[in-house]
Structure 1
Amino acid sequence: MKACRRVLCRNLYVLFISLFLFAQPLWAQETSEDAAQTTEAADAGSGDGIPADAAVISKGKEIFDGNCAQCHSVHEKVVGPALKNVYERKDVAWLTNFIKYPQKVIDSGDAYAQALFKEYKQIMPNHDFLSDEDIMSILAYVKDETVKGPAVAETPASSTGGDVAADQNAVDPNLLLAVIAGLVLLLVILLIAMVMLIAMLTRYLKQKEDLSEEDKEFISQRFQLKNLLQSQGFIGVVSFVFLAVVLKATVDGLFSIGVQQGYAPEQPIPFSHKLHAGYYEIDCKYCHTGVEKSKNANIPSANICMNCHNTIRTTSPNIQKIYAAIENDEPIQWVRVHNLPDLAYFNHSQHVKVAGLECEQCHGDVKEMEVVQQFSLLTMGWCIDCHRKTEVNTEGNAYYDKLVELHSKNSKDPMTVEDIGGLECAKCHY
């Protein structure tokens, strides 16, 4: 009986294993089909018309950072409401109209828009310069961030990672001081050894009996500092070193005339770029509005400050200076930091919009500057050196096709700004 029971259990076990192995491929296939359907559904969107293409999301992030991030975040309130699931609160057409013309929508009596105005007590500026496609890309970015959820703060690495590598590459000031001290100590030891060696040789020579009177007089002479200081050789060496130092200081001073590297003037209102551009990550283009479309980057007006400070730190004495400037209809007397001579022409839009240069390449890491200062030399030589080294980004720009073709026939090196006339006098002097 027990033997039959064991045989029955063994057969049932074998049958169960066989069924499992047979069903596994079908289950895997079904799971893959479900995953593919889920992916297709995600790619197609949820019927709201908001695209999920990575390129569109990337473009939306760029536009959002430049125009929206100063007042909005996806997952938390800033100056304005959090934008999580905003596409579910209102349809795309309403959102597009509101983003472009918020005042108009509020004045129309729209209940939702008026509720927002009542809660936040301010009106978003018009964004009618954005196209419908731009706004759709912003919504694509917001939807993507909504699905991802809020970012989880990472635990700082203890003793591993890139920070350690950076620390290893940095020069320890204490180590450098120790090396200098070691070299000085080594020179002192060598000097002492030479003095001892001279003394030993002198004693040895004095014991010799076949020395001439002249040799005995030379060996017996004593070192006198006065004679050394009055010698022609010493005076000549000191004079040469002195004249060389004076000449170098004079030449350096002449070359530094008009160079204001490190210039950090005191402003009428203390403005921390480290706080605004660094901690709050306000994009440079939000305040310096002309950087992509004008010769000048524009010093921001008080109205731009008021986009945030009509509700943030309104009682601060420094913010009150902004209110006073607006009430008196007088501009804030900001002190210009970066000054070019009148004979030099520089166009911000040409470098930022066309060439695609980042602000940090010329202005340094501004988001780490408590008081902004001139980072680069901004001299003619500095500009020429940049034009000689900077490669022209010709990809996707048919304007350069013929130039690239002609350049490739005569040179194997990449085409730089110098090759397209970047060193011609009339480019910068007019």
Structure 2
Amino acid sequence: MISCKKRAKYTFLLPFLFIFFVFSSAFAQAPEQAEIGTAGVTPGSAAPAAAGGGADAGVIDAGSTLFKNNCVQCHSVGTDVVVGPGLQDVHKRRSEAWLMKWIKNSSALIQSGDKDAVAVFNEYSKQQMPSFAFSDDELKALIAYMASESAKPQTAAAPSGGPDTAPGQNVGTDAIGAGIGNTIDLLLVVLVVVLLVLVITLIIIASVLKNYLKGKGDLTGAEQELLERRTNFANIYKSKAVRIIVGLIFVVVLVDISIDKVMGIGIQQGYAPRQPIAFSHKLHAGDHQINCNYCHTSVYKSASANIPSANICMNCHSQIKKESPEIQKIYRAIENNKPIEWVRVHNLPDLAYFNHSQHTKVGGVECQTCHGPIETMEVVAQYSPLTMGWCIDCHRNTPLNTEGNAYYDNLVKLHEKQSKGAFIVASNGGTECSKCHY
């Protein structure tokens, strides 16, 4: 015979299982996916290709830097015409000596009556090409870079992450992060299903026991009382234990929401204001691979990265896309002698000191480390939280490049005596309060 104590125990467990199920569901959240680091990626940069035509990777890399800083505004390394012609296979169409003369001083070559120079000048609307005071070695490096780019296939295969994978994105890490999130979501679903099955099973068992007692002819007083008893949920909810549990759940949820809201004050991550002129970083820095320093001229030499002035835009758009409604806004601003009121995206509080050139020029920090995959953004948004904790984490994990800098020699020796770890920014006082607050 099944005892009344066991029956009472099963009935008593039901409300606690229900509370546990509600508590688990209330706090079941998928973990945040880790941000994919994009440090060390320059717009349009790629691993150095195998050196073509006898040029080594160092020469090609030097030529790449020269091209991106001086030529990409008017030329592509493919067949596309920007301002001037596309430069694919230009080393095959012209001799190296001719190319060196043309790059150094195209005007002089045209005036000398060179047929090829005159033909190119006339073909492209007699647009004057600037002269460049490059050394012969720099010119050879530039030509070697164009030759190496011409040797590459023009239609590269899509990355393993699919066609929408952003340049510089770590596809493998992204897939792992997504896989972990999906696994935990699946486990939570399984847990909820198991709890539901347990609750339903207990209800069925209680019903079977009740039917068993009903079919039994001779019932004791205790069994008869148990059979006639009805569960009073009002009494359960009025019990002290249930009230304490419900109160704790409410307090924990309220505190969690409050902390999230308070910690988010002043954080503008994801802020993407509408600008007075629709400017696409994806088109300029991504598709056309224009170096950031061409427009933001002070990123390597000033404490603040400047917003480009209209005359920088006109370097290209005096010839390109002049009919565009957005470009016409630039013309009107110049005609009315009024500055374009760009909306600043990245803002730091006045209590924090930040030197842009110290990070980019001295520290060698890439744009994407803080600004994210800027070369994929149609509308610029704040990628990083820019909080103190975020900055300190970077200072605690970033090694200092001390090679060739005698300033660090004694500091490195002292650090090696005291620690076996890497010489990071924090090792050089990068986490002291007065570095950023004074």
- The TM tier, using the shorter chain, reads 0.7 to 0.9
More displaced 10-residue stretch of structure 1: 117-126 or 370-379:
117-126
Counterpart selection for 2:285 from 277, 285, 292? 277
Once the 2 structures are TM-superposed, how far is the Cα of residue 374 of structure 1 from its aligned partner? 0.4
- In the TM superposition, what are the counterparts of 1:218-367 in structure 2 within 5 Å? 220-367=228-375
Per residue, is there more helix in 1 or in 2?
1
**CA deviation digits over 1:176-196, x for unaligned, max 9?**
877655544333222110111
Deviation string 1:265-284 (CA, Å, 9 cap, x unpaired) is 01011122222222222222
Tell me the secondary structure at the aligned position of residue 402 of structure 2.
Answer: coil
2:303 aligns to what SS in structure 1? coil
- Tell me the equivalent position of 1:67: 70
Counterpart amino acid of residue 153 in structure 2: A
Structure 2 CA distance, aligned partners of 1:410 and 1:158? 44
Shift of residue 393 of structure 1?
Answer: 1.8
Unmatched 5+ stretches in structure 1: 1-41, 44-51
- Structure 2, unmatched stretches of 5+, are 1-52, 166-170
Alpha carbons of 1:299 and 1:124: their partners in 2 closer, same or farther (altered >3 Å)? farther
1:56 aligns with 2:63: no
Q: Select between 130-139 and 327-336 the one with higher mean Cα deviation.
A: 130-139
Trace 1:366-381 onto structure 2 (pairs within 5 A). 366-381=374-389
Q: In the aligned structure 2, how far is the partner of 1:423 from the partner of 1:174?
A: 37
| Alignment match of 1:88 (pick from 69, 90, 95) | 95
**TM-score normalised by structure 2 residue count:** 0.72
User: Are the structure 2 counterparts of residues 198 and 172 from structure 1 closer, same or farther at C-alpha, using a change threshold of 3 Å?
Assistant: same
C-alpha change, 1:289 and 1:127, in structure 2 (3 Å) is farther
CA shift at 1:117, angstroms? 5.7
User: Percent identity over the alignment?
Assistant: 48
Q: Residue 369 of structure 1: CA displacement? A: 1.8
After superposition, give the CA deviation of every residue in 1:189-232 in whole Å (9 maximum; x if it has no partner): 2211011122334455675978565x754553212333333333
Please give the alpha-carbon distance, in whole angstroms, between the structure 1 residues aligned to 2:305 and 2:84. 27
Structure 1 residue 142 and structure 2 residue 146: aligned?
yes
Q: CA separation in 1, counterparts of 2:342 and 2:159?
A: 41
The CA deviation at 1:122 is: 4.2
C-alpha change, 1:296 and 1:166, in structure 2 (3 Å) is: closer
Distance apart, 1:58 and its partner CA:
1.3
CA contact (8 A) 1:351 1:357 kept: yes
**Greater relative contact order (Cα 8 A, min sep 6): structure 1 or 2?**
2
Residues 119-156 of structure 1, C-alpha deviations (whole Å, 9 max, x = no match)? 3454456766x66654453234235546x3x6343466
In structure 1, the residue corresponding to 2:400 is in which secondary structure?
coil
CA distance in 1 between partners of 2:204 and 2:326 (Å): 71
2:432 is the alignment partner of 1:424: yes
Query: Shift of the alpha carbon at 1:334?
Result: 0.8
Q: For residue 115 of structure 1, report the CA deviation from its aligned partner.
A: 6.7
Distance 1:95 1:108, change over 3 A: closer
AA in 1 matched with 2:374: V
**1:394-413 alignment, distance < 5 Å:** 394-413=402-421
> Partner letter of residue 275 of structure 1?
L
Aligned residues: 370
The structure with more radius of gyration: 1
Q: Are the aligned partners of 2:283 and 2:378 in contact in 1 as well (CA < 8 Å)? A: yes
User: Does the Cα contact within 8 Å between 2:296 and 2:308 map onto a contact in 1?
Assistant: yes
CA RMSD of aligned residues (A): 3.7
Range with greater deviation from structure 2 (369-378 or 390-399): 390-399
Give a deviation string over 1:233-291, Cα, whole Å, max 9, x none.
33332222222222222222222111100000010111222222222222222222221
d(CA) in 2 for partners of 1:424, 1:158: 43
> Structure 2: how far apart are the matches of 1:223 and 1:155?
67
CA distance in 2, matches of 1:135, 1:345: 41
Aligned partners of 1:204, 1:326: CA distance in 2, in Å? 93
AA aligned opposite 1:137:
A
